[in-house]
Structure 1
Amino acid sequence: MKADEICDRYGHLQSGLSLKLLPADGDCEATILIEGPSRALHLLADLLMAVADEKENDGFGLGPRGAGSFHFSKTSEFGVYIHRLDE
């Protein structure tokens, strides 16, 4: 399935995906927190697999203030761009 088709498949209900920066703290380095309900994590997992498998397109992005914003929570600080490298 193509990445656009994945977004369409999940398009009837908001997903609530959120990406935030957790700052460095003591021994832990800065980390990106990916959180949301099961639906949001399934959406992201399906998008990762679609980009991995879709030969015609090596990248796909969506974000909270642009394309795909419907899938993000209002608290999300970042979007995501998935890029497959040639092997």
Structure 2
Amino acid sequence: MKKFKREYLIEELGLPYSLCNEYFIEDTIDYADCGLVDHTLIFRDVDGKTYRASYDKPEEPEDWTPWEDEEEVECQEVVPVKTIKWVDKK
């Protein structure tokens, strides 16, 4: 587990606003309820390691700031795993 400063993720890496930069890898929606959408963000830090962070985003994000109530964001280091998918033979 690694803690990142909220300002670093937003200002330096542009996350989660800029989902088309060299740090962004994946953003998935995990759950939506009561006007909030739970996201899981996968990103690569400048150290070359890959991390997972979670954040909530309102369905109507007018004045929204990610990780608004957190000075530091806990992120888990992650690695990709290849899987086998079986398909019909043609």
TM-score between the two structures when normalised by the length of structure 2: 0.26
Higher relative contact order (CA 8 A, sep 6+): 1
Higher fraction of strand: 2
TM-score between the two structures when normalised by the length of structure 1: 0.27
Structure number, greater radius of gyration:
2
Higher fraction of helix: 1
